[in-house]
Amino acid sequence: MEVQENIINRVAESGLLSFDLAELYPAGERIFYDIKDNLFHGLMLREKDFREFIKEHNWESYSGKHIAIGCSADAIVPTWAYMLLANKMSPFAETVVFGDLEVLETILFDRKLNQLDFEKYRDQRVVIKGCGEIHIPNSAYIELTVKLTEIAKSIMYGEPCSTVPIFKRKS
């Protein structure tokens, strides 16, 4: 007796659109430039020494990288010091922001999300993929949810076979 079964992929037939934030992950090394290394005795910035460092440092070493500039020490750093660093890094670096690496990731994802055309998600059931190998900041999930809430029919989180409902437009 021959048994022939047709396997039906219910996920494929569900009409769900999947959105994977990992696909927006910008390539490139991330660096936190900690200005504490330029502080005198870890307490204050001496302008003369700092300007000498600015003049002598190899800024090309930041080529193509995403840089977050900040200070991990409990010190008062004048704004102009961060501005000098940004001025020297920006011709070489892909991105230069103020903050830590989490702020950098937030800004990188915000920029990518703001470049997208969300029209294909209008009136659609969307699953925002989670639990991937690439770290996606929570801020990216929030920003994406805000954008999709305006146009999608429903938003879910997880995998198409196992989702958590986030939003459903009332007809």
DSSP string across 62-105: GTT-EEEEE--SS----HHHHHHHHHHHTTT-SEEEES-HHHHH
Helix-helix angle 138-149:101-115, to 10 degrees: 30
115: enclosing H helix or E strand: helix 101-115
Each residue of 97-135: pLDDT tens digit?
999 999 999 999 999 999 999 999 999 999 999 878 899
Q: Which of these, 26, 15, 8, lies nearest to 136 by C-alpha position? A: 26
Whether 67 and 97 have beta carbons less than 8 Å apart is answered as: yes
| Look-up of token digits 């501005």 | 83
- For the record, the structure tokens of 95 come out as 């991105």
Summarize the confidence of residues 44-56 as an average pLDDT. Answer: 96
Structure-model confidence comparison of residues 15 and 127, the more confident one: 127
**Alpha-carbon distance 68 to 90, whole Å?**
11
Q: Would you state the structure tokens that stand for residue 59, as one six-digit string?
A: 């800024």
Distance CA 81, CA 53 (A): 11
Would you say residue 3 has pLDDT above 80?
Answer: no
Instruction: Write out the two tokens for 121.
Output: 């998600």
Q: Is the pLDDT of residue 7 over 70?
A: no
